[in-house]
Amino acid sequence: MAHTFGSGIIPDTSLDEMIKHLTREGGPCDMTPGGIIKRLNLRRPIYRKTAAYGHFGREEREFTWEKTDLMKVLKKEMK
């Protein structure tokens, strides 16, 4: 479920449908908890870096949750 808090350029319900389509079996996005852990490589200890200056808004490659690579896939889906 997606919620853009009013900042989206398309309705949240449309975004929900696009995400559902992309996450179906065989789709390019695995949004299960295990799929997210694998995609973002979350099982590695990076405690020192995350403890200093916060977790979000970081540009270092270790902060994989800041990736925006799925935007390309979502933009294709919008067409």
Query: What does the domain layout of the chain look like in residue ranges?
Result: 30-78
Amino acid in position 37: I
Cα(64)–Cα(76) distance, integer angstroms: 22
Q: What is the pLDDT of residues 49-77, one digit of tens each?
A: 777 776 777 777 787 777 777 778 777 77
| DSSP string computed for the chain | ----TT--SS-HHHHHHHHHHHHSTTSS---SHHHHHHHHTTTS--HHHHHSS-SSS--STT-GGG--THHHHHHHHH-
Whole-prediction pTM = 0.56
Of the CA atoms within 13 Å of residue 1, those in its CB half-sphere come to 2
CATH code for residues 30-78? 3.30.300.10
Residue 79: the pLDDT is 67
